[in-house]
Structure 1
Amino acid sequence: MAKVTISLDSELAIEVMLLAGTKSPQEAVELIVRDYLARGRRTEARAGSAADQDRLADRRSAPEEGR
């Protein structure tokens, strides 16, 4: 996997390290980003994606038959 170098404010890096419980700023940021992505996937799995919302909106606007 390709690597990317990112510059962060030292105070932000220290806060992330404390939050993640790591001794390395790189490990801390990697853990935070992985957690962020996993949360997004879990939310999408529970709530559906934007494409699902468009599909469902079409159904809601159409009149129901038999009523």
Structure 2
Amino acid sequence: MAKVSVSLNADLVVEAMVLSGVGSPQDAVELVLRDYIERGHRTEARLAERDEALRVVDMKPRDVEG
């Protein structure tokens, strides 16, 4: 896997280290990014399920009132 170097604010990295409970700045930032990406995937999956459920409801024939 390719590696990328990024300069970050030290306070931001220390906060990431504290919140993740990791002593390495590299590992802390990597954990935060992985969590962010996984959260995005979970959100996408949840929205897709909701949209599919709405499509199923829309497909059902409606009762004619009269």
TM-score by length of 2: 0.72
Mapping for residues 7-46 of structure 1, pairs under 5 Å: 7-46=7-46
Identity %: 53
Aligned length: 57
In the TM superposition, structure 1's runs of 4+ consecutive aligned residues that sit over 4 Å from their partners are 64-67
Q: Which blocks of at least 5 consecutive residues in structure 1 are unaligned?
A: none
Q: d(CA) in 2 for partners of 1:38 and 1:20? A: 15
Q: Between Structure 1 and Structure 2, whose CA radius of gyration is higher?
A: 2
Give the TM-score normalised by the residue count of structure 1: 0.71
Q: Please, what is the CA RMSD of the aligned residues?
A: 2.1
